[in-house]
């Protein structure tokens, strides 16, 4: 699973850390490959935005190991699910897909949470304050919990084989 936002320093690292934690708590950490990437390359190699790591820490998560990376064409084949944080990322990912199967791997994060699906986009907190980072964290956490609930049965059945 690859979470994708713009620069891979705010929203997608939050989703990666949260989803990895959910998988580990369920005893399925080794059954899922979870990363995050950005559609742009301007932050490659950098830590997550300090406000991202602070928001994660306020909620009991550690984002200190994150290093930004750019989405690569081979990710279409490497990941069953490419999770876009907003419609602009979804458009970029679908435009880069060379097959219908690759395009079908792309979904919006909020589409997995019935309570938030109508919003479609996780807002970019980059130009905002800590309160917005915390609000974005809550949105992402709720959507990741719903996504994990949906994929957990398939992971468990695959892990038991």
Q: What confidence score (pLDDT) does residue 58 get?
A: 97
Backbone CA torsion sign across 12, 15, 21, 26:
negative
Percent above pLDDT 90 for the chain: 94
Active-site residue 100, yes or no? no
| Tokens 């713009």, residue located | 6
Q: What confidence score (pLDDT) does residue 156 get?
A: 80
Q: What confidence score (pLDDT) does residue 160 get?
A: 46
- The catalytic position among 41, 102, 124, 134 is 124
**For the chain, which residues score pLDDT lower than 70?**
159-161
Of 2.40.30.200, 3.40.50.300, 3.20.20.70, 3.40.50.2300, the CATH number of 2-152 is 3.40.50.2300
Active-site residue 124, yes or no? yes
**CA distance linking residue 68 with residue 130, whole number of Å:** 20
Percent above pLDDT 70 for the chain: 98
Cβ atoms of residues 77 and 83 within 8 Å: no
What predicted TM-score, i.e. pTM, was given to this entire model?
Answer: 0.95
Q: What confidence score (pLDDT) does residue 157 get?
A: 80
What is the torsion angle, in degrees rounded to the nearest 10, for the CA atoms of residue 65, residue 107, residue 79 and residue 66?
-10
Active-site residue 11, yes or no? yes
**CA distance linking residue 141 with residue 54, whole number of Å:** 15
| Tokens 């490419």, residue located | 82
């Amino acid at each position: 699973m690859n979470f994708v936002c713009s620069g891979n320093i705010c929203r997608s690292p939050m989703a990666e850390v949260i989803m990895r934690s959910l998988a580990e708590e369920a005893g399925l950490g080794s059954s899922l490959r979870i990363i995050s990437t950005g559609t742009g390359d301007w932050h490659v190699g950098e830590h997550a935005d300090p406000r991202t790591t602070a928001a994660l820490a306020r909620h009991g998560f550690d984002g200190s190991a994150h290093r930004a990376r750019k989405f690569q064409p081979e990710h279409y084949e490497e990941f069953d699910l490419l999770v876009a944080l907003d419609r602009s990322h979804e458009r970029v990912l679908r435009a880069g897909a060379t097959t219908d199967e690759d395009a079908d791997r792309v979904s919006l994060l909020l589409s997995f949470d019935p309570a938030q699906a109508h919003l479609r986009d996780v807002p970019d907190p980059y130009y905002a304050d800590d309160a917005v980072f915390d609000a974005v964290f809550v949105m992402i956490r709720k959507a990741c919990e719903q996504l994990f609930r949906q994929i957990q049965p398939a992971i468990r059945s695959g892990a038991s084989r």
